[in-house]
Amino acid sequence: MTDHTTTDTLRTPIVAVLGHVDHGKTSLLDKIRGSAVSEGEAGAITQHIGATDIPLDTISGMAGELIDPTDFDLPGLLFIDTPGHHSFSTLRARGGALADIAVLVVDVNDGFQPQTEEAIDILRRTGTPFVVAANKVDTTPGWNSQDGQPIQRSLEAQSERAESRLNENLYEIIGQLSDAGFSADLYWRVQDFQKNIGVVPLSAVTGEGVPDLLTVLMGLSQRFMKEEMAIDVFGAGEGTVLEVKDERGFGATIDTVVYDGVVHNGDQIVVGGQEEPIVTEIRALLQPRPLEEIRTEKKFEKVGEVGAAAGVKIAAPDLDRAMAGAPVRVVRDRPVEDVIEEVKAELAEIEVDTAED
C-alpha cells in the first residue's frame, strides 16, 4: 500500500480565457499553444482532455528576457481549451470558480462589448483575479509588426502616429474598466496587482505581447495564489465535469478538470447527476494520444492516475446522467455517504447561483 502521508506540492494554476465573441479568444489560445510547440523542446506542452499544460521552462523560453525562471516555483500554467464565459460561469470548484485566474480578451478597436460586460460581472462575482489582453494591436493603422516580441520591443518599432493611435484605444479600455469599477493600467505601470488590473497590449495573430501576457499570469499566480496552489498530492481527487460525452467503446464519459489531489484508475467516485449523485467506479482514465501517434485507430491513451491540475476523460458505468459543471469526488477512505452529501451540497450551491443569473 502507498504511504498516504501528506505531501504538499504546488499545483499548476488553472487559467480561463473569456471575452466578447470575435475578440480573439480562440486565436489567443491557438497562438499560445503554437508558440509553445515551436519553442521546440520535447514536452513543450502537454495536451490534456479539455486543457493544455504549459510547463514553466517553456513559458520561460517564450517570455525570454521577461522571465527569470528561478523566481518561480509554480510548475507552469494549465489553460482550459474551451474559451468563453458561458463555460466559465458553470465551472465551479468548491463553490468558487474552477479557474484560478482569467484572461479577459478585449479587441483594442472595439473596446467593451455586451459579453465583455457579462464576463466582468462574472469575474467580479466569483472574485477571480484577471488580466486584460488588449488584443489585435497589429490592426492599428500603420502598425509595424514584430512577431512574437515582448510589447516594449514592438512599441519601439512603431511610428509615433501608430503608437498614439494604439494608446488612445488602450486608454479607452482602461476608462471602461474604471467605469466597471476596476482600477486598471498598462501592466508595466501596475505596482500592486491586487489593487489594479493589468492591461497587456498584444496580438493573437503576430504573437507580439504574448510573452508579456504569460509573464504577468505567472507573476500573478506566484505572488497571490501560491497558498491556494499547495495541495496534497496523495489526497482524494477532486474535480469538475467540463462535458459529458459518448465515446465509442466506453459509453458515456466525463471530461473532467482535476483541481486537487489524485485520481486513480479503479477509484470509486461520486459525480453530480441530473437527479442525484452518481456513485460509480472508474474503468479508464483517458488522455489524448500524442500527435505523432494520431494515425492509430484509438484516439485515447489509458493512464493509471492523474494528479492536479489536469484535464482527463473518465470512463465509468452510469455516467449518462452526469452534468457539466458538477463536482467529481474520489471516495477513498471516507464513508461514501459523506461524499454523496458533499456533492449534493455543492450542487445545491451551483443551482442557487444559476437561479440568480
> What residues numbered 69-108 form the site for ligand GDP, per CB under 6 A?
83
Q: What is the pairing mode between strands 92-93 and 96-97?
A: antiparallel
**264 annotated as belonging to a binding site for a ligand:** no
- Of the pair 103, 197, the CB lying nearest ligand GDP is at 103
Residue 113 touches ligand GDP, criterion: CB under 6 A: no
Is 24 annotated to bind a ligand? Reply is yes
Long-range pairs for 83-88: beta carbons < 8 A, 24 or more residues apart: 83/16, 83/17, 83/18, 83/19, 83/25, 83/26, 83/28, 83/29, 84/18, 84/25, 85/18, 85/19, 85/115, 85/118, 85/119, 85/122, 87/16, 87/242, 88/16, 88/18, 88/119, 88/122
| Residue 267 assigned as binding residue | no
Which amino acid is present at 226? Answer: K
Show the binding pattern over residues 224-263: x = contacts ligand GDP (CB under 6 A), - = does not.
----------------------------------------
- Map residues 174-213 to x or -, x wherever contact with ligand GDP holds by CB under 6 A: -----------------------------xxx--------
Q: How far is the CB of 20 from ligand GDP (least distance, A)?
A: 7
On whether 43 is known to bind a ligand per the annotation, the reply is: no
26 belongs to the binding site for ligand GDP (CB under 6 A): yes
Q: Which of 109, 113, 115, 139 binds ligand GDP (CB under 6 A)?
A: 139
Residue 84 is assigned to a ligand binding site: yes
Grid cell at residue 287: 488522455
What single string gives the DSSP state of each residue in 73-114?
Answer: -S-EEEEESS-SHHHHHH-EETTEES-SEEEEEEETTT---H
Furthest-apart CA atoms within the chain: distance in Å: 68
Binds ligand GDP by CB under 6 A, chosen from 4, 7, 8, 22 = 22
Residues whose CB is less than 8 angstroms from the CB of residue 30 and which lie 6 or more positions away in sequence, other chains included: 204
Q: Between β-strands 197-201 and 130-135, what pairing exists: parallel, antiparallel or unpaired?
A: parallel
**58's grid cell:** 517553456
Gap between the Cα atoms of 163 and 140, Å rounded: 8
Measure CA 133 to chain center: 14
Candidate residues 12, 14, 16, 25; the one interacting with ligand GDP per rule CB under 6 A: 25
Q: Taking CB under 6 A as the criterion, which residues in 118-137 touch ligand GDP?
A: 135-136
Q: Which is nearer to ligand GDP, 19 or 198 (CB)?
A: 19
Member of 53, 81, 138, 212 binding ligand GDP (CB under 6 A): 138
Residues in the interface with ligand GDP (CB under 6 A) total: 16
Q: Is 128 annotated as a binding residue?
A: no
Interaction between residue 23 and ligand GDP (CB under 6 A): yes
Sign of CA dihedral 106, 110, 112, 114: negative
Q: How far is CA 36 from CA 49, 55, 119, 220, 324, in A?
A: 18, 9, 27, 20, 29
- Interatomic CA distance for residues 123 and 133, integer angstroms: 15
Interface with ligand GDP in residues 266-295 (CB under 6 A): none
Q: Which of 19, 50, 55, 235 binds ligand GDP (CB under 6 A)?
A: 19
Q: Annotated binding residue at 5?
A: no
Indicate the residue among 22 and 65 with the shorter CB distance to ligand GDP: 22
Q: Which residues are known binding-site members for GTP?
A: 19-26, 81-85, 135-138
- Pick out the residues of the known binding site: 19-26, 81-85, 135-138
Binding-site ranges for ligand GDP (CB under 6 A): 19, 21-27, 83, 135-136, 138-139, 203-205
